[in-house]
C-alpha cells in the first residue's frame, strides 16, 4: 500500500506515475477525504480531552457539595458527539483504505514506460538454443506420446486446464521440486512447507486482495483461499512483526501447489501446461533494508536463473514495463525460457522488488539501529522456478528425433539414475 502523505506531496507526479500503470485516481478528492479525516480526529481528541478533564473534576466537586448535574448532562452530550465523530471518522477511513488498497505500487525510474509487454526491454540472453535436425515437437505431443501426462483424464476428473502427471512424468516433476529446493538452500534460503490454505488478511498483505479476488479460489463459507503462490504465506510469516536489522536480508524458499482461476485468460494457451488452474512452483522471498533492495533483486533474479543454467536451458532476462508489471511490484524482471517446440520464449519466473508496498499492508518493520525508529522493510519475491514450465522446457529442449527425452545430467540423481524417458521406460 502506498503512503497517502507521499501520494499527496506531489500530486502531479504521482498522477503521472499511476497513469503509466494504467491506473487513474482523483487525488484532489482523496486529499479532501484525508484532510477531513485529520480534522475530525483533532476535534474528537479535543472533546475526549474535555471529557476526561471534567470526569476527573466531578468527584472533587461532589465532595465540596457542588451541584454537578449540568456538568454530567454536558458530558453525556459530549459523549454522544464523540460517538458520532468516531462513526464519521471510521467511514472516512474506510473510503481512504478502499482507494489505497486498489492502487498499484509506483514504478522505479529504471522501469520502461509502456501500456503492455510491447514496451518490455530484453536485458540479456544465456545459453545456446538447440539445433535439431528434425522438426521439434511441442511438449503436449511429447508428453502424451510417452504417456507421462494425461490431459484427457485430468479433464474428466476436474475440468479444463488441469493435468495428471503419471509414471516417469510424476517422477520428473518431483525431481525438479527437490532439485530446486536443494539449489536454493545452498544459495542461503531457508526451506519452508507452509499451509496451502490461507486467509484474507494474508492475501491483503501481499496485494492479491481486494482487487484480484476473481483470480483466486475461495473455500465456500470460510475465510480460506487456496494458495495462489508461496509468496503469500512466506511474506506473511512476519506480518505485524518488527524484525532485527542484523537478521536482514532474510531469505525464504518454499514449494507449494499454486491455484489460479486464470480469470480473463480464456482462449489463451489452451494447449499443454502453460496456463493451468493448478501448478507446482518453488518460490523465493526476501526481506531487506530499503537501501539494499535493488541489489538484492539482482541477486534473487540470478538465484532463479541459476536453476536454468544448471539445467542448461536457454533463457533471456526481460525488464518489464510499467504496464506489464504485477500490482505489487516496483521493478520486475521476467526470466523467459526458450521452447523450441513452440519456437518462442515463455515466462518461467517473475522476480520483483515490491519496496515497502507489501510491508505497509502487512505491517512488517525492522528496528533501524541508526535512527532508533521502526521502519518498513522492503520485500522481494520470485519464482525459483515454476515447476511445470521447467518440466515442459526440458521436454522440448531435450527431445530426440525418436520422441524420447534425455534427462539433464544434474537431475539424474533425483530420478534414480534414469537417463532417458522413452516408450520403453513405461
The predicted-structure confidence for 22-59, as pLDDT tens digits, reads as follows: 999 999 999 999 999 999 999 999 999 999 999 899 88
Q: How confident is the model at residue 171 (pLDDT cuts 50, 70, 90)?
A: very high
Q: Is the dihedral of CA 269, 408, 425, 134 positive or negative?
A: positive
pLDDT tens digits for 327-386? 999 999 999 999 999 999 999 999 999 999 999 999 999 999 999 999 999 999 999 999
| Predicted local confidence at residue 267, as pLDDT | 59
Least confident of 57-61, 250-254, 300-304, 345-349: 57-61
Nearest partner of 385 among 344, 340, 342, 350, judged by Cα = 350
How confident is the model over 189-210, as a mean pLDDT? 98
What percentage of the chain reaches a pLDDT higher than 90? 92
Q: Are 394 and 313 in contact (CB under 8 A)?
A: yes
**Each residue's pLDDT tens digit, 280-300:** 999 999 999 999 999 999 999
State the pLDDT at residue 264: 59
Cβ neighbors of 149 (< 8 A, separation 6 or more) are 140, 143, 163, 164, 165, 166, 169, 273
Extract the C-alpha cell encoding 228. Answer: 495462489
Which three cell numbers mark 75? 458530558
Q: What pLDDT, on the 0 to 100 scale, is given for residue 1? A: 92
Query: Which residue numbers are catalytic?
Result: 260, 275, 347, 350, 389
* pTM recorded for the entire structure: 0.93
Of residues 281, 278, 277, 225, the one with CA closest to residue 254: 281
For residue 282, the cross-strand partners are 255
Res. 270: pLDDT tops 70: no
Main-chain phi, psi angles of 93, to 5 degrees: -65, -40
Quick one: average pLDDT of 306-319?
98
What pLDDT shows up at residue 419? 97
% of residues, the chain, pLDDT over 70:
97
pLDDT of amino acid 423: 83
How far is 223 from 236, CA to CA, in rounded Å?
A: 16
pLDDT of residue 62: 87
Beta carbons of 381 and 404 less than 8 angstroms apart: no
- Go through the domains of the chain in sequence order and give each one's CATH number: 4-100 (1.10.287.40), 117-425 (3.30.930.10)
Residue-level pLDDT at 130:
97
Per DSSP, the three-state class of 121 is strand
* Alpha-carbon torsion, ordered 35, 36, 37, 42, to 10 deg: 90
Comparing C-alpha atoms, which of 255, 314, 288 is closest to residue 366? 288
From 41, 51, 53, select the one nearest 73 (Cα to Cα): 51
The stretch 135-149 carries a mean pLDDT of 97
Average pLDDT, the chain: 95
pLDDT exceeds cutoff 90 at 426: no
What's the confidence (pLDDT) of residue 121?
Answer: 98
For 399-414, how does the pLDDT look when each residue is reduced to its tens digit (9 = 90+)?
Answer: 999 999 999 999 999 9
Residue 220: all three cell numbers together: 465456500
N-terminal to C-terminal alpha carbon distance within the chain: 51
- In terms of C-beta distances under 8 Å and separation of at least 24 residues, what long-range contacts does 310-313 make, across chains too? 310/183, 310/408, 310/410, 311/390, 311/393, 311/394, 311/408, 311/410, 311/411, 312/127, 312/397, 312/408, 313/127, 313/337, 313/338, 313/390, 313/393, 313/394, 313/397
Alpha-helix runs per DSSP H in 286-386:
293-310, 357-362
pLDDT of 263: 66
Residue-wise pLDDT tens digits, 224-241: 999 999 999 999 999 999
Q: In what order do the strands lie in the sheet with 315-319?
A: 121-126, 315-319, 331-339, 344-353, 378-386, 278-288, 250-259, 190-192
Task: Tell me which residue has cell 536480508.
Answer: 249
Amino acid at each position: 500500500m502506498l503512503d497517502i502523505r507521499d501520494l499527496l506531496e506531489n500530486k502531479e507526479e504521482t498522477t503521472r506515475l499511476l497513469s503509466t500503470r494504467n491506473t487513474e485516481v482523483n487525488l484532489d478528492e482523496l486529499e479532501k477525504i484525508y484532510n477531513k479525516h485529520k480534522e475530525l480526529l483533532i476535534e474528537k481528541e479535543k472533546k475526549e480531552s474535555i471529557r476526561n478533564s471534567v470526569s476527573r473534576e466531578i468527584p472533587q466537586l461532589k465532595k465540596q457539595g457542588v451541584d454537578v448535574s449540568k456538568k454530567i448532562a454536558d458530558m453525556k452530550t459530549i459523549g454522544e458527539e464523540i460517538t458520532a465523530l468516531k462513526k464519521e471518522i471510521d467511514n472516512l477511513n474506510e473510503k481512504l483504505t478502499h482507494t489505497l488498497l486498489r492502487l498499484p505500487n509506483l514504478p522505479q525510474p529504471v522501469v520502461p514506460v509502456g501500456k503492455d509487454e510491447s514496451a518490455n526491454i530484453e536485458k540479456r540472453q544465456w545459453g545456446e538454443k538447440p539445433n535439431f535436425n528434425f522438426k521439434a515437437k511441442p511438449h503436449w505431443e511429447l508428453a502424451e506420446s510417452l504417456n507421462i501426462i494425461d490431459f484427457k483424464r485430468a479433464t474428466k476428473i476436474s475440468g479444463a486446464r488441469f493435468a495428471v502427471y503419471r509414471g516417469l512424468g510424476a517422477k520428473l516433476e518431483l525431481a525438479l521440486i527437490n532439485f530446486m529446493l536443494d539449489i536454493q538452500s545452498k544459495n542461503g534460503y531457508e526451506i519452508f512447507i507452509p499451509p496451502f490454505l490461507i486467509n484474507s488478511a494474508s492475501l491483503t498483505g501481499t496485494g492479491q486482495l481486494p482487487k484480484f479476488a476473481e483470480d483466486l479460489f475461495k473455500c465456500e463459507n470460510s475465510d480460506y483461499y487456496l494458495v495462489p503462490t508461496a509468496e503469500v504465506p512466506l511474506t506473511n510469516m512476519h506480518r505485524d512483526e518488527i524484525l532485527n536489522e542484523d537478521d536482514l536480508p532474510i531469505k525464504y524458499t518454499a514449494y507449494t501447489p499454486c491455484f489460479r482461476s486464470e480469470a480473463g485468460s480464456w482462449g489463451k494457451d489452451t494447449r499443454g501446461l502453460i496456463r493451468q488452474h493448478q501448478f507446482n512452483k518453488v518460490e523465493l522471498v526476501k526481506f531487506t533494508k530499503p537501501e539494499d533492495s535493488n541489489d538484492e533483486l539482482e541477486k534473487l533474479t540470478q538465484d532463479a536463473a541459476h536453476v536454468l543454467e544448471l539445467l542448461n536451458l536457454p533463457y533471456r532476462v526481460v525488464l518489464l514495463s510499467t504496464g506489464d508489471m504485477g500490482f505489487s511490484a516496483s521493478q520486475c524482471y521476467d526470466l523467459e525460457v526458450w521452447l523450441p517446440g513452440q519456437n518462442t520464449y515463455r515466462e518461467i519466473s517473475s522476480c520483483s522488488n515490491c519496496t515497502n508496498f507489501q510491508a505497509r499492508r502487512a505491517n512488517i518493520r525492522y528496528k533501524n539501529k541508526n535512527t532508533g525508529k521502526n521502519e518498513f522493510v522492503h520485500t522481494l519475491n520470485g519464482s525459483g522456478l515454476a515447476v511445470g514450465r521447467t518440466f515442459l522446457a526440458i521436454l522440448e529442449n531435450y527431445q530426440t528425433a525418436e520422441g524420447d527425452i534425455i534427462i539433464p545430467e544434474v537431475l539424474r540423481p533425483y530420478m534414480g539414475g534414469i537417463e532417458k524417458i522413452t516408450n520403453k521406460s513405461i
